[in-house]
Amino acid sequence: MNESLKIFANDLKNSFKDLVPIILVVAFFQIAIIGAVPENLTSIIIGLFIVAIGLALFIRGLELGIFPIGEGLATDFAKKGSLFWLLLFAFLIGFSTTVAEPALIAIADKAAAISDGRIDSFYLRMTVALSVGFAIALGTLRILLGHPIHYYIVAGYILVVAITFFAPKEIIGLAYDSGGVTTSTVTVPLVAALGIGLASSIKGRNPVIDGFGLIAFASLTPMIFVQIYGIIVYAIADADVTTTVESVQAVIATYNFNFLDTLLELVSVIRDIAPILIVIFFFQYIIIKKPVAHLHKIITGIVMVIFGLYAFIVGLEMGLFPIGESIAFQLTTMQNNLLIYLFAFLIGFSTTMAEPSLLAIAIKAEEISDGNIKQTNLRVAVAIGVAVGIALGAYRLVAGDPIHYYIIVGYIAVIILTQFTPKHIVPIAYDSGGVTTSTVTVPLVAALGLGLAQNIEGRDPLIDGFGLIAFASLFPIISVMGYGIFAQINQKTTKEKS
């Protein structure tokens, strides 16, 4: 018991440390730039404390429950040798974890409201969920076949760009964003555990090189599927839909904290995780026909994940979302572009450092690389990429440039860097783009993009307001590859000197 308390106390200390950058950024902009102390300061402080507790519970729950059961299932499937059941499991995990993903629901609802219903929220979510299910199944097949991941990713980039030239301009930003909101705080650890478990169980596979990459597939395929969905929707639509100011204001309105809503949030978290658990235990007991090892620890871990994620979300709604969205919206009305870029950069960096999905992946990367990949270095590299991406995305929105020009140049940079990046870094770099835009980042980034599009003359929120999440997903891939190349050069230089 004492040992468990010590571990949790250390997790809690690390959680508070992760939140410090967010607190400093928000405090600086609220006091120095906006020039006012927020009225609900006590609520904000309590909310941030709850966030830290939730993050600590979540990480400990992953270690106890999600990682072991995911890796155990992968090992059992490898032993069973049934390709059909393994690919079906991979598809259902991808579909079930995406269809109820809160970040996806938020973006789909925003798109439906802004387009006045032309883009249907339900069909958009189903399109994305099907694409993620397909992606996880395809990524699993790649691990089994032992194909290099960059063949698939580069082909996917080419397909995304090719379809872009046929897709309606109203859907492009949304399609690019959809790739960044599909991988949730629960999906990422489970999918990573599946990939690493498979790669560890198959002879000739390397867990670092082959085990990562499933998240990259889940971030790429939605961009293709949603653009095709947009082509179909706009081909059969017969009326022009204009975006009203009221519809934009409605979707960027700040959160109002309510105790009853927090209880409903717990129900929502359980509802989001339930499909995942149903799929896992169905395949474990009905298909694999084997009891779960250390079931009490697994259940304890799952309960900790549920309450950790619940506390995390409630704390965000009390502490970060209201003030963050308020600052984002006020900055868009101040007519000072440099402040907007600075806020975009700093909020991108600080929220990414506190992102649970990234933390989970970084911990796993350090573990299976025997410490060669340092979790802190990886997280900082990803956070820098997100910061640069969101700042550049904000500039693109202010300048009014078409989004696909930037994305195409980014893809070209990724393809070139892939040739020079150490092999063990490439799959992790691809995955890093999918773990940066989740519970913390999406609401703030969406509010900033829609706020800018509403307040800058000549911008359409549906065409220009989306896209920041896509930048936040693309540039971490570049920054992590850069980190890998730098680390390799540094290692060679050290060897030559010794």
- pLDDT, tens digit, for every residue of 387-437? 999 999 999 988 888 888 898 899 999 999 999 999 889 999 998 887 776
Asked if 387 and 349 touch (Cβ cutoff 8 Å), the reply is yes
Q: What percent of the chain has pLDDT over 90?
A: 21
- Whole-number Å distance between alpha carbons of 317 and 255: 7
pLDDT at 324: 67
Mean confidence (pLDDT) of the chain: 82
**Using CA atoms, how far apart are residues 361 and 61, in angstroms rounded to an integer?**
14
Neighbours of 291 (CB within 10 A): 8
For residue 332, give the nearest of 240, 484, 445 by alpha carbon.
445
Is residue 127 packed enough to be buried (19+ CB in 10 Å), middle (13-18) or exposed (0-12)?
A: buried
Half-sphere exposure of 275 (CA within 13 A, CB side): 18
Band (pLDDT 50/70/90 cuts) for residue 227 is very high
Q: Tell how many helices (H) and how many strands (E) occur in the chain.
A: 22, 0
Q: What is the mean pLDDT of residues 471-490?
A: 91
Phi-psi region of 242 (alpha: psi -120 to 50; beta: other; left: phi over 0): beta
Question: Is pLDDT above 90 for 109?
Answer: no
| Token output for 321 | 């979302």
What dihedral do alpha carbons 109, 112, 113, 114 form, nearest 10°?
A: 120
* Number of neighbouring beta carbons within 10 Å of residue 329: 20
Q: Which residue do the tokens 């730098």 mark?
A: 486
Name which of 184, 148, 139, 179 is nearest 163 in CA terms. Answer: 179
Q: What's the pLDDT band for 245 if we cut at 50, 70, 90?
A: very low
Q: Are 61 and 302 in contact (CB under 8 A)?
A: yes
